[in-house]
Amino acid sequence: MEVVRLENRPEGAKFEDVRELVSGARGKTVYETGDIDAGIWSAGITVGLIHDIPSCKELCANIERDAVKHIERLSSIVAHKGSATAGREAKL
């Protein structure tokens, strides 16, 4: 917010005005301490895919449920294709 405040001044801001604020040292503190107000940090575009904040137990259960669903779907595809190619063997 400090950088935005400086940039919004009537006289604007030069790089020298914000150098210490954007050097990365403060951002490193964010990642080391978890204090998101300590500096600039990024979350990336995947932040748009987050729709809830589950507990670790719920997250693991969701991952397991999704994995089982995908494994079952892929197994049915492989089993279905396998019946059409019954009797064939791969030669190496």
Q: Which DSSP string corresponds to 1-48?
A: -HHHHHHTSTT---HHHHHHHHSSHHHHHHHHH--TTSS-----GGGG
Q: List pLDDT tens digits, range 3-45.
A: 899 999 999 999 999 988 888 888 888 889 999 888 878 888 9
| Residue 45, both tokens | 């575009």
Q: List pLDDT tens digits, range 37-67.
A: 888 788 889 889 999 999 999 999 999 999 9
For 38, the domain range is: 1-47
State whether 12 and 33 are in the same domain: yes
38 vs 18: CA distance, rounded Å: 15
Q: Is 37 exposed, middle or buried (0-12, 13-18, 19+ CB in 10 A)?
A: exposed
**Number of domains forming the structure of the chain:** 2
Residue 91 domain flag:
no
| Residue 86, both tokens | 């019954």
State whether 19 and 58 are in the same domain: no
